[in-house]
Amino acid sequence: MEPASASPSSPSIVLGYSDAARTVREQATSSDERPRGTESLTLLDSLSRILAAPVLADRDQPPFPRSTRDGFACRSADLASGDTLQIVGQLRAGEVWTGPALEPGRAIEIMTGAPVPAGADCVLMVEHAAVDASSIRTTRQLTAGENVVPAGAEAQAGATLVLTGTRIGPQQIAAAAACGYASLPVHTRPRVAILATGDELVPVAGQPLPHQIRNSNSYSIAAQVLQHGGKPVLRPTVRDNVAAIESAIEEALTSDLLILSGGVSMGKYDFVEQALLNLNAEFFFTGVRMQPGRPVVFGRLPAGDGYRYFFGLPGNPVSTMVTFALFAGPLIGALAGQASDQLGPRFVEAHLARDLQAKPGLTQFLPARIESDSTKATVRPIAWQGSGDQAAASKANCFLVVPEQVEKLSFGSTVTVFPF
Ligand code: AMP
Ligand code: MG
């Protein structure tokens, strides 16, 4: 497939954020981007992985008409008369009524989760009944079916509860457990090679000289790879040297995706694009009108009988994290087998906590905190020193999205937020 928006080796393809996101999505959902295999994992080990076959209901859910209240199973027609009902028995969850079908004028004391006996068509809440030793009275009128979930109303036996391609969270684990799955089939994780470039970098365990920097990006990238269902492969740090970058890239082509950090800006020692070009890379974009993250690069390299996608992420740590989350994350999701309608990124809305001056011409992603009470979410930008300020990013729980055309945003307005 040809790149959507530019010639294969164009050295400068700068897109707006939306076009860049669309370009990544098009590549991510192209038919040959499929996971490499599947494996079976115990239920808990499958958390955050991508389901490789549907979870099916092994029986009707609920398997019996389930009382949703503690109270009295009775006939709704009887309540209309206002007569006293005689209590003829008791049913707790885990028990089943073995007596005759409930006759008119009678009620059975029942607990939440117990099967509603034949003859009864509703459950009167205990709070709404005047209870005598062996009878009840109420002024309430109930309709047939009230406080009862009929057998099979939630799902019928054989129905699909969780679709293939779903990221497995607690709710999917609950559904699988309820249907007797001790293990789940999941897609194998794509291997994502992580190559940090920069002469200034020292290993995290090393002692940096005053002018040196610890290589934190390899770790933030690896953490994000894990979050998106990939398997991080940390490669040695690469010097700012074209030949060194080329051979590091070539060695990493055994992975399913390459993530480079640093060396994609306009500096004299930013050689990543040159190295990629020397290896016959096809570029989809070489920059995005966004802040942070403007120099981000996306393309693919010939490898074996096909190609490998790569991202060149800017080295500034906040840029690295934001561009990963917006662009690399969805591609990893696709390589991991995630359904295309679930790839993200996902945005939410919140009310802005103060006025904000924007920079028209760039989509901004500003580190911020979203705070929610039960009725409303408010977002407040965090003071920051720009795209190298990981101290600010580490206080953030989201990025406030300021669209490209916007000049200012006002206190109280509804704004877009990228939870992070
Ligand atoms: P670059 O994108 O190579 O121009 O780097 C931009 C900034 O990010 C510089 O201040 C670098 O020192 C910093 N940087 C680059 N790579 C890393 C890394 N792996 N970890 C932390 N900071 C980095
Ligand atoms: Mg650099």
263 lines ligand 1 (CB under 6 A): yes
Beta-strand runs (E) in 84-243: 85-91, 106-110, 122-125, 130-131, 135-137, 148-149, 160-162, 183-187, 191-196, 201-202, 213-214, 231-234
pLDDT at 2: 42
Atom 3 (ligand 1) nearest CA = 262
- Full pLDDT tens readout for the chain, 420 residues: 444 444 344 479 999 999 999 999 999 998 666 778 999 999 999 999 999 999 999 999 999 999 999 999 999 999 988 889 999 999 999 999 999 999 999 999 999 999 999 999 999 999 999 999 899 999 999 999 999 999 999 999 999 999 999 999 999 999 999 999 999 999 999 999 999 999 999 999 999 999 999 999 999 999 999 999 999 999 999 999 999 999 999 999 999 999 999 999 999 889 999 999 999 999 999 999 999 999 999 999 999 889 999 999 999 999 999 999 999 999 999 999 999 999 989 999 999 999 999 999 999 999 999 999 889 999 999 999 999 999 999 999 999 999 999 999 999 999 999 999
- Assess contact for 120 and 89: CB atoms under 8 A: no
pLDDT at 9: 45
pLDDT at 11: 75
- Assess contact for 216 and 394: CB atoms under 8 A: no
318 lines ligand 1 (CB under 6 A): no
- Peptide bond connecting 210 to the previous residue in cis, omega within 30 degrees of 0: no
- Which ligand 1 atom is nearest residue 264's CA? 2
Token pair 């205990």 is found at: 126
- Which ligand 1 atom is nearest residue 197's CA? 16
Token duo for residue 323: 């561009």
Neighbours of ion ligand 2 (CB under 5 A): 198, 262-263, 315
List Cα–Cα distances, 361 to 20, 115, 289, 403, in angstroms.
15, 62, 7, 9
215 lines ligand 1 (CB under 6 A): yes
DSSP 326: I
- Peptide bond connecting 11 to the previous residue in cis, omega within 30 degrees of 0: no
pLDDT at 31: 67
What residue ranges define each of the domains in the chain, with the CATH number in brackets? 14-37+188-342 (3.40.980.10), 40-59+156-187 (3.90.105.10), 66-149 (2.170.190.11), 348-419 (2.40.340.10)
d(CA 165, CA 173): 14
145 lines ligand 1 (CB under 6 A): no
Q: How far is the CA of 163 from the centre of ligand 2 (A)?
A: 43
pLDDT at 8: 40
Q: How far is the CA of 270 from the centre of ligand 2 (A)?
A: 6
Q: How far is the CA of 331 from the centre of ligand 1 (A)?
A: 23
d(CA 344, CA 156): 31
169 lines ligand 1 (CB under 6 A): no
